[in-house]
Amino acid sequence: MSRFLIAFLVALFVFSGDPGFAKAPKPMTNKDVISLVRAKISQDSILLAIEKSNPAFDTSATALIELNKQGVPDVVVQAMMRAEERPAAASRTPN
């Protein structure tokens, strides 16, 4: 009986899953990219972060003007725009 109870509790723990464990990563926003640029993170690192992100970028004309004013390089803005074009499932699949 006690072995059954232990096995049941272990199975319950393993298969119940922690809701925090399966959460998708926090979406990357324009504000995040601006923060990275201001922190002088290398352009290559920012591009890689965008590529691996769960994108939630605002690429409206107004937002693009603001990104330019904040000193975000064109190549980074273009990567943000490409990331928005990715299929939603692919952008959330862990690597």
Tell me the pLDDT tens digit for each residue of 16-25: 555 555 566 7
25 three-class SS: coil
Task: Please provide the average confidence, as pLDDT, over all residues in the chain.
Answer: 82
Pick from 45, 31, 27, 43: which is nearest to 83 by CA?
27
Is 90 buried (19+), middle (13-18) or exposed (0-12) by CB count in 10 A?
Answer: exposed
Query: For residue range 8-49, what is the model confidence (pLDDT) as tens digits?
Result: 555 545 555 555 555 667 999 999 999 999 999 999 999 999
15: tokens are 């298969």
